[in-house]
Amino acid sequence: MRDDKVIASALLAWYDRHARVLPWRIPPPSGRADPYRVWLSEVMLQQTTVAAVKDYFIRFTTLWPTVDDLAAAEDARVMAEWAGLGYYARARNLLACARAVAAAGGFPDSRDGLRALPGIGAYTSAAIAAIAYDAPETVVDGNVERVVARLFAVQTPLPAAKRDLTAAAGRLTPTERPGDFAQAMMDLGATICTPRSPACGICPLIGACDARAAGIAATLPRKSPKAARPTRTGTAWVARQGDALLLEQRPAKGLLGGTLAFPSASWDGRDLPPPGPARWREIGEVRHVFTHFSLSMTVLVGELSGNPERGYLVPLRQIDRDALPGLMRKVWDMARTEIAA
């Protein structure tokens, strides 16, 4: 019979020896982490890899060491620093949450209080409560789902299996060191119980794993077939006037919300004309993949012959590629040679 306490104890002992070194984490078993750093890292890690987040996290915490510092930051500066990390609604919610926390004098210490903040859902509230406040909350991300599906040989496909996997993870979560346990489960999934070719031979839970015993570990968790991703088309205009380029601020809500971008249309539901008078010339297409659709964007360049009808002119020397979202970086990379000609 499986002993949940033995599983938790074995995993924590493994974690004490093999925990990943991450810039937002304190080494085990050192106690509670800073809720600001836990929150910031969890928001950045949503649908983004650890490798991609590390440099962003270090830069953000260097620029804004505390939640009060971030709350006082200019929106445009935060959006520019976020550029390239994707899912820009996270950056908008980040600022809204930081300002709510600063106004309240600090982060709440309960999951319910945390969940009431802008942009914090069930997973993030549980992670902050467990890791920063050592509350016995169940933290379930994709890594944890995979570990639990294999431990219990759950063959119901995701996403239908989510409720059962969360319940099973809850039974394993100990009352002592729940934050370390949550991070240990994540580390196990990230380094040993990996999606392909899991390293079962060195897993600290090999003796308790039903999927390993049945020889089906590599096939779990099962997933329901995904619907085909639709394709959209759109147009981006890269307009020059003298030594300046035309840029615009994206609408605060929606795709790439609040970011600096080249004027564009059609792909995002906005049926807009060219941003000003010019002899437009098509130079090619860029392709970009969003969560729910693929995009083929036609890029046109031109020299403005009059005042722009939207956006504003920015001197070429001030154009910062890194401040543009990924899609617009691709547009700029295609257009910059033509613009310089």
The 10s digit of each residue's pLDDT in 180-217 is: 999 999 999 999 999 999 999 999 999 999 999 999 99
Listed in sequence order, the residues at least 6 apart from 255 whose beta carbon sits closer than 8 Å to its beta carbon are 88, 267, 268, 290
Q: Residue 254's pLDDT is what?
A: 86
Tell me the fold of 231-340: Nucleoside Triphosphate Pyrophosphohydrolase (3.90.79)
CA distances from 126 to 25, 38, 97, 116 (A): 16, 11, 16, 12
Kindly state the tokens that stand for 110: 């309960």
Res. 1 pLDDT band, cuts 50 70 90: low
Res. 289 pLDDT band, cuts 50 70 90: very high
Q: Residue 89's pLDDT is what?
A: 87
Give the pLDDT confidence of 83-128 residue by residue, as tens digits.
888 888 899 999 999 999 999 999 999 999 999 999 999 999 999 9
Res. 340 pLDDT band, cuts 50 70 90: low
Pick the residue with more confidence: 75 or 4? 75
Domain 4-219 listed as CATH 3.50.50.60: no
Q: Residue 124's pLDDT is what?
A: 96
Between vectors from CA 330 to CA 326 and to CA 334, what angle results, nearest 5°?
165
Q: Is 154 helix (H, G, I), strand (E, B) or coil?
A: coil
CA distances from 136 to 170, 171, 173, 178 (A): 9, 11, 7, 5
What percent of the chain clears pLDDT 90, i.e. is strictly above it? 84
In the chain, count H helices and then E strands: 13, 7
Q: Residue 278's pLDDT is what?
A: 94
Whether pLDDT at 341 is above 80: no
Stretch 58-71: mean pLDDT: 98
Q: Domain locations in the chain?
A: 4-219, 231-340
**Does 4-219 match 231-340 in CATH topology?**
no
Q: Is 39 helix (H, G, I), strand (E, B) or coil?
A: helix
Mean of the per-residue pLDDT values of the chain? 94
What percent of the chain clears pLDDT 70, i.e. is strictly above it? 99
CA distances from 18 to 61, 175, 208 (A): 25, 21, 19
Q: Residue 227's pLDDT is what?
A: 85
User: Token match 């804004």: residue?
Assistant: 64
Residues involved in catalysis: 42
d(Cα 179, Cα 186) in Å, to the nearest integer? 11
Res. 233 pLDDT band, cuts 50 70 90: very high
pTM of the predicted model, to two decimals? 0.83
